[in-house]
Amino acid sequence: MYAQMIKTASNSVKTRDEMSDSERAFQDRIDAGQKIEPKDWMPDDYRATLIRQIGQHAHSEIVGQLPEGNWITRAPTLERKAILIAKVQDEAGHGLYLYCAAETLGVSRDELIEELHAGRMKYSSIFNYPTLNWADMGAIGWLVDGAAIMNQVPLQRTSYGPYSRAMVRICKEESFHQRQGYSIMLKMAQGNDAQKAMAQDSLNRFWYPSLMMFGPPDAESVHSEQSMAWKIKINTNDELRQKFVDQTVPQIEYLGLECPDQTITWNAEKDGYDYAQPDWNEFFEVIKGNGPCNKERLAARVKAWDDGEWVRDGLLAHAKKKSARVAAE
């Protein structure tokens, strides 16, 4: 997802007998559906896992602006340009909500950004793919934001209060993102042959990377159990991926496009589609930093941070001077 393959320190979940008194009381609160708030006691590993997860989620929102930012200057109409700017601006807001949520756990935003820039923290694999034609703005809103919604809606119920509240705000804004994407796809799919071909090409390129967003198959996903017990992960990777496929295939049909997975078939027994797995080797390569745009994306983030330094410093110096003047009066 926006947070993929988050590691917890331990691979196994403690039994009630193995837990300390405070750990047991903590788990009881979570099981009772209570929210954990910043000043409450929490296990060190809960805190550390959440910092990694929320941090990675925040980084994904911010880096995720780059592939779409690429098309702002080339949007086909002024209206589409304004819509795309608003969408990308929302993503900046999502990053901000999430960094703030992470900060309540005792890490600073600058520390998280440093970790990202040093390559020690990740962002979602999906943003390492290039955006090659205008239809990609459609495919991203429809598929990438669509996959994100699938994950974020249940996360509104996550056990950590600030994370949950950030998710509520984000979910309110996401539906605009997905609908503006699908509306681009509709327009292109109903356009001339060249436009329709672009829409199909875009779908072909984003289908499997979108499926990868949910993370590796459950059988290979070793960190889920503890996170699920703590309600910082609500559904398994395969559950969400299946839901996403089932929702998306009819939408592809409506567009009159072809599903890039030729093997896709309805399975009445499981009440869902049987679909082909993405190339997981490719996924692990992208996660390792060897995707088509990893270097470019990170370089763009670092450059923006470095180029903005004089502005951040200048505004801070100005604020200090002003308050010193007020204090002197």
Partner 1 sequence: MSKEWPLWEVFIRGQHGMSHRHIGSLHAPDAEMAIKNARDVYTRRNEGVSIWVVEAVHIAASSPSDKGPFYEPSNSKVYRHPAFFDIPDDVGAM
User: Count of CB atoms within 10 A of residue 219's CB?
Assistant: 8
Q: Which residues contact 124 (CB under 8 A, 6 or more apart)?
A: 1, 2, 3, 4, 56, 60, 63, 64, 213
Check residue 100 for interaction with partner 1 (CB under 8 A): yes
Which helix (H) or strand (E) segment holds residue 199: the answer is: helix 193-212
Residues 71-90 as x/- pattern, contact with partner 1 by CB under 8 A: ---------------x--xx
Give the residue, chosen from 52, 94, 233, 241, that forms a contact with Fe ion under the rule CB under 5 A. Answer: 94
Map the footprint of partner 1 across residues 107-166, applying CB under 8 A. 108-110, 165-166
Q: Of Fe ion, partner 1, none, which one does residue 234 interact with (CB within 5 to 8 Å by kind)? A: none
Residue 145 contact partner, candidates partner 1, Fe ion, none, CB within 5 to 8 A by sort of partner? Fe ion
Q: Which residues contact 79 (CB under 8 A, 6 or more apart)?
A: none
Radius of gyration of the chain (CA): 21
| Distance of closest approach, residue 181 Cβ to Fe ion, in angstroms | 9
Taking the C-alpha atoms of residue 173 and residue 124, their distance in angstroms, rounded to an integer, is 19
Please select the residue that binds partner 1; options are 169, 196, 223, 243, rule is CB under 8 A: 169
Question: Residue 318 binds what, of partner 1, Fe ion, none (CB under 5 to 8 Å, by partner type)?
Answer: partner 1
Q: Which is nearer to Fe ion, 57 or 205 (CB)?
A: 57
- Of residues 133 through 152, those in contact with Fe ion by CB under 5 A are 145
Please select the residue that binds Fe ion; options are 59, 177, 233, 241, rule is CB under 5 A: 177
SS3 274: strand
Query: In terms of CB distance, is 12 or 323 closer to partner 1?
Result: 323
CA 20 centroid distance within chain: 34
Inter-CA distances, 216 with 11, 39, 219, Å: 16, 34, 8
68 binds Fe ion (CB under 5 A): no
Q: Which helix (H) or strand (E) holds 188?
A: helix 161-189
Residue closer to Fe ion, measured from CB, 115 or 145 = 145
Residue 26: CA count within 13 A, CB half-sphere: 22
Residues pairing with 266 in the sheet: 273
Determine, following the binding rule CB under 8 A, whether residue 28 of this chain makes contact with partner 1. no
Q: Where in 239-268 is the site for partner 1 (CB under 8 A)?
A: none
Burial letters for 150-180: b for 16+ Cβ neighbours within 10 Å, e otherwise? bbbbbbbebbbbbbbbbbeebbebbeebbeb
Q: Which is nearer to partner 1, 110 or 306 (CB)?
A: 110
- Work out whether 91 is an interface residue with partner 1 (CB under 8 A): no
- Least distance (Å) between residue 288 CB and partner 1: 31
Residue 99 is encoded by which pair of tokens?
A: 């960094």
* 103, 136, 145, 174: which one binds partner 1 (CB under 8 A): 103
Contact footprint for Fe ion (CB under 5 A):
61, 91, 94, 145, 177
Contact footprint for partner 1 (CB under 8 A):
37, 39-41, 86, 89-90, 93, 96-97, 100, 103, 108-110, 165-166, 169, 173, 312-313, 315-316, 318-319, 322-323
